Amino acid sequence: MSLSFPNPSRSYDSQSGRIRFVGHDGMFQISFSITVDALSVKNSGPLDGEADFLRAFDAGHEFIHEIARKAYAKTRKSSYAFTAADI
C-alpha cells in the first residue's frame, strides 16, 4: 500500500518551530513534521507567525507530501522530521 494524506489537518508546534501532519499507509498512521525554516526556503522569503506558517504549508502541501512519500518509500519509519536541508 502507498502513503496517502486523506486528512488535511496540520498543526503548528511553537515549541519546536514545526508544522506537524500525518499520512496513512493502510491502517498505519505515519507522523511528519517540517520546520518553519524549511517552509521559508520553499516560500522564498521570511514568514512571521503561526498564520504565515500554516498558509505556507497549505500553499506547498503537494510538494511537502511528495517529499514525505519519497522519504517513506525509502525507509518506512513511523515518523519523519524534515528540515531546510530536505527541501
Question: pLDDT tens digits for 17-37?
Answer: 999 999 999 999 999 999 999
Distance from the first to the final alpha carbon of the chain? 25
Position 1 scores a pLDDT of 66
Q: How many domains does the chain have?
A: 1
Is residue 2, in this structure, part of any structural domain at all?
Answer: no
Average pLDDT (60-73) is 96
* Rounded Cα distance, 29 and 49, in Å: 28
Is residue 5, in this structure, part of any structural domain at all?
Answer: no
Neighbours of 42 (CB within 10 A): 18
Residue 25: which domain range? 10-86
Cα dihedral sign for 38, 5, 27, 13?
Answer: positive
